[in-house]
Amino acid sequence: MRVMAFSIFKLLLLSFLLCTFLQEPTDALRKTYIVYLGGHSHGPDPSPTDLEIATNTHHELLASVLGSHEKAKEAIMYSYNKHINGLAALLEEEEASDIAEKPNVVSVFLSKEHKLHTTRSWDFLGLEKNGRVSANSAWTKAKFGEDTIIANIDTGVWPEHPSFSDKGYGSVPSKWRGKGVCQIEAFNTTQKYFCNRKLIGARIFMKNREAEDGEIDRKFRSARDFVGHGSHTLSTAGGNSVRGANVEGNGRGIAKGGSPRARLVAYKACWNKLDAGGCHEADLLAAFDHAIYDGVDVISASVGWSNPYKEALLTDGISIGSFHAVTKNIVVVCSAGNDGPSPSSVTNVAPWSFTVAASTMDRDFLSTISLGKKKSFQGASLNRGLPRPKRKFYPIIFSVNAKLRNASVNDARVCKPGTLDPAKVRGRILVCLRSDKLQSVREGEQGKLAGAEAVFVQNDEQSGNLLLAENQVLPAASISGTDTDYLNGTGGSGEMFAYLNAAKTYLGVKPAPIMAGFSSRGPSLVQPLILKPDITAPGVGVIAAFSQAAGPSNLASDTRRTLFNVEQGTSMACPHVAGIAGLLKTYHPTWSPAAIKSAIMTTATTLDNTKKPIRNAFDKVATPFEYGAGHVQPNLAIDPGLVYDLNTTDYLNFLCASGYNQALLKLFGQLKISYKCPESYRIEDLNYPSITVHHPASKPINVTRIVTNVGPPGTYVVNAQGPRGIKVRVIPTSLTFKKTGEKKRFQVILQAIAVPRRLPLFGNLTWTDGKHNVTSPITVL
């Protein structure tokens, strides 16, 4: 009996220990949830007491579920108490579900991790010509965006960079409310304050990041940019004019932003390591709330949810933050994403956001690759060339032929770490397949580690024919898939040899723009009747400011440092449009964000610099699902003639038509408007600058639009180019305006006259008075 009792005791003890060790800590069950409550009742200019009351209501809401105010204060991460009404807290799934049942809660959702989407640009866009700015330039008219405040939500800023110098600037605009907040720490300097009259503020938002990934090292708990992305995007939007900008001697010229005299603010909500990481949603939403409160004019956000299949209007932090910003007359510009060429990959699709795709400009960085016997071709490159001992040619080896015995062919093909045999690679030119549509610096690094003299990175199928010049750690070039025919020795046999010459800068390249293969495409999965992206802008080979804490390849092994760097992505296209929006904000301070968006969209072009339709990286004619309304033209946007305007009520009507009910939207009553869902409202009638409808197979579709005259009195006549098989009628066919600010309504009737072979179909509608051409794309799904 004693033996049996002892055995039972041991069994019970073992069970207890197993339960103790295997039981997951309570904190591990908790995740970051955002509780969205709509708008605040304290108005646009909250006092400290208002903010305290709002936070207390958030504590009370949490306490009602968690059991006490003490537990609520421990769980809460952010109290969005300024303009966005909501909170972020560490909750268990059941607790989050209980809060979602509360009557005043709009939505409860897990905080997601968003991705970051990065001087010739302005010449190509017509703001200057060979360094000279004409009287007709939007720069001249808008005083270079003087005193407009542009905020960047990104990885921070390198404050000492000349792009952010305040030399020649006057006092900070009185509308700026974030005075004295400059959360930047020293870096190899004894300086204590790093903001100035140009870079007027910097804030950090990291609570969600630390809750998910652990505490950030103290030396990095700063709005200082340690990876370069934030400095690059912020300087593109509004950096100073800086002479002598170049990358490895390429692209020499004057670097500047779209609004070079704007005041800038850095909100750091993205805590990337050198080449990985992202932006947590609760931190992003806190950045939006502060930006609205601080009094900015434009927000540039080159970030986005990487899974558009799960994006929703009121369970997405960027969508919610953008909505509240736009209702406070702030233009919000977002990147479309880098998941192209897949269809329906576009992100940031809310109609109040301004979504930007990426395309090329008329500048290339190319190296000539010599193969001997007078054979050669070109690759995209920034390199300074291979050593030239009597112009030595180097043998070529493909990575699949250089793999280690145990490495897989697929891994070796893209030169993954640990797949290459140095004995086979050393002294040769290595050829790898591109593994990432935006960068191939890892392939270059692996080639260097294996002893390669140079690396050629061959485009994969999804990259098309667009070659990206990248700042590699060794001589390298990006080549097209067809170029490997040369390297394989077509027409001959035996080992091939090559030589890589130094890169050169080519200007006036045609055709341009070309839509980048990586740029995300429409239609939107959230609401396909709103065309997204809205516009395209330069996002390939963009030179802008860079951090001094990282090498230009963003690899930990890269010890180089450079003031400027070349980057690509819709991240780089986004701040181009943010800078242009800053110009329009300066020139038209009373215009709404929707009017500014309309001006930029309706003056865009769908033709390249050869006057032919814009094509994509796959040598096909691009569509509005790739470029939206077209390629941005700032000099025309500043004087558009007519605009399609929208206000908060219009957006609420859109939400009603999208299935959000009156009981939910009543919470937006805190926006100081009396609102009730209309009895009937169609998304097709949202006064958007583009028109998208489902195919009118059985009966005609009637769409209504309203234009506002922002130019002199005059008469506009319509010209409609219907999609193939669709008859388009516009009623009336002319609009006469007697004064500025006058509004006119018109109808567009689309009727099928042929059975479509395939969908979608594309056309356009243009109002013209002989000077202004106000164009809207028409898309039939």
Query: How far is the C-alpha of 333 from the C-alpha of 315, rounded, in Å?
Result: 19
Give phi and psi for 578, each to the nearest 5: -60, -40
Contacts of 209 (CB under 8 A, 6+ apart): 216, 271, 280, 283
Contacts of 776 (CB under 8 A, 6+ apart): 601, 602, 629, 644, 689, 690, 691, 705, 764, 765, 766
Whose tokens are 């020499």? That residue is: 252
> Which has the closest alpha carbon to 507: 241, 250, 244?
250
Count CB atoms within 10 A of the CB of residue 359. Answer: 30
Confirm whether 571 is a catalytic residue: yes
- Residues 296 and 237 sit within 8 Å (Cβ to Cβ): no
Which spans in 588-678 are helix H?
Answer: 593-602, 624-627, 634-637, 648-657, 662-665
Confirm whether 229 is a catalytic residue: yes
Give, rounded to a whole angstrom, the gap between the first and last alpha carbons of the chain.
80
User: Which runs of E-coded beta strand occur in 542-674?
Assistant: 542-545, 564-567, 615-616, 642-643
Contacts of 21 (CB under 8 A, 6+ apart): none
> Which has the closest alpha carbon to 385: 506, 505, 474?
474
CA distances from 524 to 610, 624, 692 (A): 30, 12, 11
> Which has the closest alpha carbon to 477: 561, 558, 387, 368?
368
Please identify which of the residues 154, 283, 289, 316 carries the catalytic annotation: 154
Tokens of 296: 């900015």
> Which has the closest alpha carbon to 335: 297, 309, 308, 363?
308
Tokens of 226: 């340690």
Instruction: Collapse the DSSP code of 5 into the 3-class scheme (helix H, G, I; strand E, B; otherwise coil) and give the result.
Output: helix
- Residues 169 and 148 sit within 8 Å (Cβ to Cβ): no
Query: How far is the C-alpha of 484 from the C-alpha of 487, rounded, in Å?
Result: 5
Contacts of 201 (CB under 8 A, 6+ apart): 176, 178, 179, 181, 182, 195, 265, 266, 294
Q: What is the DSSP letter of 671?
A: G
Q: What is the DSSP letter of 467?
A: P
Query: How far is the C-alpha of 651 from the C-alpha of 351, rounded, in Å?
Result: 8
Q: With helix as H, strand as E and coil as C, how does 736-758 read?
A: EECCCCCEEEEEEEEEECCCCCC
Query: How far is the C-alpha of 694 from the C-alpha of 723, rounded, in Å?
Result: 12
Please identify which of the residues 58, 83, 114, 229 carries the catalytic annotation: 229
- Residue 515 host element (H or E): strand 514-515
Query: How far is the C-alpha of 539 from the C-alpha of 296, rounded, in Å?
Result: 24
Query: How far is the C-alpha of 104 from the C-alpha of 666, rounded, in Å?
Result: 9
Tokens of 60: 């009370």
Give phi and psi for 26, each to the nearest 5: -55, -40
- Residues 611 and 504 sit within 8 Å (Cβ to Cβ): no
Please identify which of the residues 319, 367, 520, 571 carries the catalytic annotation: 571
221-234 as b/e: b if 16+ CB within 10 A:
bbbbbbbbbbbbbb
Helix, strand, coil percentages, rounded to 5, for the chain: 25, 25, 45
Active site residues: 154, 229, 571
